[in-house]
Amino acid sequence: RMKWAHFPYVKSLSEFNLEEQTALTGRQLTQLAELNWLEQQYNLILLGPPGVGKTFLAIGLGIESIHRGFNVYFVTMGELIHLLKTEEFLNKSKVQLKRLRGADLVIIDDLMYMAMDQREANLFFHLINHLYERSSIILTSNKSPEQWGELMGDQGITTAILDRLLHRVEVIHMDGDSYRMKHRKSVFSAEV
């Protein structure tokens, strides 16, 4: 199941540094780790600027879900659009999307990172419609749902997608400075 999940890296919730993040308390993180939201098919939307731990938290929750017997599928929005557009003629895409559609938890990373054309928005809507009340979804995005309409270019499709995603959802606004920038390493030493 870990292999099928397609995580870009493996980081557990125990490695998530709460001191770096003000959006979640220890109690809230524990509640998320209990996975009651997943059993009740709630969605999570993790919003915030790059580097604040959205993907890290999503992967940690995904790994915890796998340890508890759930099937998980991780995909970036760019990869997902590619899979959806090539499903009709690429067997590999067909297989990947079958796994995704059968997962208990689908993690879509970097949602609305780039604009979609009409066809892509339609394909995405059909996927969200299929997953609705069958699977839980974790979305990470640096854009708020109010901004998604302009990136999809079709307010009707955006409204239909949001209606399904927000029916049962917990939105977590993660903020702060980029962890990557705060802890970046340099090739050059500080000494002169």
CA-nearest of 92, 93, 65, 68 to 80 is 93
Nearest-angstrom CA–CA distance, 61 and 172: 14
Q: How far apart are CA 42 and CA 40, in angstroms?
A: 6
- Tell me the average pLDDT across 1-15: 91
Tens digits of residue pLDDT in 38-87: 999 999 999 998 888 899 999 999 999 999 999 999 999 999 999 999 99
Overall average pLDDT of the 162-173 stretch: 89
At the second CATH level, the architecture of 21-180 is 3-Layer(aba) Sandwich (3.40)
Q: What is the pTM of this model?
A: 0.88
DSSP H helices in 103-154: 118-131, 145-152
